[in-house]
Amino acid sequence: MLQTRIGYELAQDDTEARRLALIVLRTDRTIEGEVRSSLPTSQPVSLYHSRIFNDFEISAATLEAMSDLLQPTAALIPAEFKPHVVGYGCTSATMLLGEERVASIIRQAHPGVQVTEPVTACIAACRSLGMKKIKLVTPYESTVNRKIVDGLRARGLDVDSVVSFEEPDDLKVGAISTNSVVEAAVHAGGGLKPDVDGVFISCTTLPSFSAIPIIERLTGKPATSSNHALAWHMQKLAGIKKFQSSLGRLYAD
């Protein structure tokens, strides 16, 4: 075999390129596609993924179990990639563990990096949209819903009502249709009251991106979700300034 060694040159770093890293639940088949679809085309963006082990059944015990796995999972995204921001893709686990604990664990693998998750992103998105009194849509059972409601209230949001699919199996949650999400946000539970500011759809596995513009059109009020808010907040923290305005009011604003 004749083999010739040939030289090469390294491409220059693009100072405009933004690097996003995302920790995805093992059971999540939604968030990667939704976050990637939200990325702008106006500047180069890299998106790196790492998957954390979790159980298909969503419960307080299975969510807490992720705490010991978070640091080694974050470390699977090499620090040499120099991400501008690391996102953790689990709303209910973040509410259970706490935002500061999540950020502290991730920074063991990525010192000094900006960290966000759906809880911090939700609060930032609701503030940006002027949403204080919200309707909450979830797939969770009542114990997890109570933690989400109490957590959002403790962070300054007024949860007016909750509509839930009460489906503990993440595999089924990832297959819930857009029509069902819209129905839950707009019609179930008596509709959207005049004094409610908007809708938050919790859970990164629950498909929501295509539902949000429909909800906003039908209600005349803003809507966001775990993935929708997280993707926006990651881009914002990474210094991206121009968003895909077709994704709803949050991105247009």
pTM: 0.93
Other CB atoms within 10 A of residue 29 CB = 15
Q: Which of 244, 200, 242 is nearest to 221 (CA)?
A: 200
Cα dihedral across residues 53, 146, 223, 164: positive or negative: positive
Rounded mean pLDDT, 175-179: 96
% of the chain exceeding 70 in pLDDT: 100
Q: How far apart are CA 107 and CA 250, in angstroms?
A: 28
Per-residue confidence (pLDDT) for residue 152, from 0 to 100: 96
pLDDT higher than 90, residue 92: no
Q: What letter does residue 30 receive in the DSSP assignment?
A: S
Q: Distance of CA 253 to CAs 78, 135, 241, Å?
A: 33, 21, 11
CA–CA–CA angle 113, 114, 120 (5° rounding) = 150
Distance CA 95, CA 67 (A): 12
User: Are 178 and 214 spatial neighbours (Cβ–Cβ below 8 Å)?
Assistant: yes
Question: Residues 95-146: pLDDT tens digits?
Answer: 989 999 999 999 999 999 999 999 999 999 999 999 999 999 999 988 889 9
- Whether 59 shows a pLDDT value over 80: the answer reads no
- 123 and 245 Cβ atoms separated by less than 8 Å: no
Rounded to 5 degrees, φ, ψ at 65 are -65, -20
Query: Helix, strand, coil: what percent of the chain each, to 5?
Result: 45, 20, 35
Amino acid in the structure at residue 200: F
Q: Average of pLDDT values for 69-87?
A: 96
Q: Please, are residues 137 and 202 in contact by the beta-carbon 8 Å criterion?
A: yes
The tens digit of pLDDT for each residue in 183-231 reads 999 987 778 889 999 999 999 999 999 999 999 999 999 999 999 999 9
Which one of 10-19, 28-37, 187-196 scores highest in mean pLDDT?
Answer: 28-37
